[in-house]
Structure 1
Amino acid sequence: MVDVKTSKALSWILRHGAEREGLTVLSDGWVAVQDVLKQPNFRKVSLDDLKQIVAKCPKQRFSLKDEDGQFYIKANQGHSMQINDTSLEEITSDSELSEVIHGTYHSHWGSIQKKGLSRMRRTHIHFAPGLPGDSGVVSGLRKSCQIYIYINLPRALQAGFKFYKSANNVILCAGNDEGYLPPEYFLKVVDKETGIV
């Protein structure tokens, strides 16, 4: 039976826990479905259930592939495990995107204002190519976010920061050596309610 709990468990294992649980993770993040289904949280889950989760996930978090009858599944982004995801499309020009936006909350703004955006335990900082509800925005920016940080993409690219687009249209950046995108690369910051920060 497919439910939110199963989808969340799948997200956790594919983004963070596969290696810890003894699963083989291919260099680009793919994990054999048969190995996932042997895990305690997935014993009542079938391949058809996983296909349904992948197809119906509103944020398009997962990809599934069939290689000669052997199915593999991966998270499209959000990893804390080090992977070499060859499906990420590098953004080489600011003309490819009209907006790059990171969503956050008032409680984090003080730290972000001083240090910049952090990838924290993940491999990338996440951005969206617009606001929730805009065309092409399915993930990368929670609707509950209180503050929108618009990135000066031309300046960041010129400074050598690498940006990528995932299969579900999330914009990703690993930041600098410390994992930060500093505040000097913020174009503008908008409070969702007041319009002012």
Structure 2
Amino acid sequence: MSSTSGKRGKREVHLSKALTYVLRHNAVELGFDIDSGGFINVEDLLSHSMFRQFTLDDIKTVVTDNDKQRFSLREHPDSGKLQICANQGHSFSLPDLELAAITDAAQYPTVVHGTYLKNWEAIKNQGLSRMNRTHVHFAQGEPGESGVISEGLSFFLSKNGVILCPGDQNGFIHPRYFKQVIQTRPRECQLIISM
């Protein structure tokens, strides 16, 4: 890799992290006008001290090249101004975040949540917690159990294909809904689910 592409890569990672920090967690505290769908005007973002070293092209590159498709751009329906939002992962509520409700478990027979082994004991005892976010995050996985939707937990699909669930009234998904738990590092093995 040339030093130019290495610097460009570091610059994109820095911008992506800064966008995540603002769009998912701290827009209001930093004085941004964020709408109910999580969108901020790009020109406002670029005029903020955190983003002055970046250009519109930098933002477009991060949006289009990010492998997890964390961000979306749109033109504001009234003003035509370019806006950006995080597709999911917010720590504050957005009533108009574009999520599609999943009502048929057959559409996504299994969802997979990745975490660290050090969290297993707490998860085994309490369930998965959304913690400081608005949803527990899942990836689409192998065929599995479909009982969670029929028992009242809501699931949604974000624009970038992440499956989201707010959990129960306390923000948890109980371990009784886990079909299996697999440790992948340092070697793959199935963990015991005992309840």
Shift of 1:98: 2.9
Partner of 1:94: 105
* Pair 1:117–1:44, CA change in 2 (3 A): same
Q: Which residue of 1 aligns with 2:124?
A: 113
Point out 4+ residue stretches in structure 1 off by more than 6 angstroms: none
Q: Which structure would you say has the larger Rg? A: 2
Give the aligned CA root-mean-square deviation in angstroms.
1.6
Contact 2:36 2:97 in 1 (8 A): no
Measured in 2, the distance between the counterparts of 1:15 and 1:39 equals 16
TM-score (norm 2): 0.86
**Contact kept? 1:151, 1:186, Cα under 8 Å:** no
Q: Distance in 2 between matches of 1:74 and 1:36?
A: 11
5+ residue gaps, structure 1: 132-149
The aligned residue for residue 71 of structure 2 is 62
Aligned to 1:51: 60
Name the residue aligned to 1:79. 90
Q: Quick one: which amino acid aligns to residue 155 of structure 2?
A: F
- Write the distance in 2 (CA, Å) between the matches of 1:86 and 1:124: 12
Q: Which is bigger in relative contact order (C-alpha 8 A, separation at least 6)? A: 1
TM-score under structure 1 length normalisation: 0.85
Alignment of structure 1 residues 46-195 onto 2, 5 Å: 46-67=55-76, 68-130=79-141, 152=145, 154-192=146-184, 193-195=187-189
User: Gapped runs of 5+ residues in structure 2?
Assistant: 1-7
Separation in 2 of the partners of 1:189 and 1:22?
42
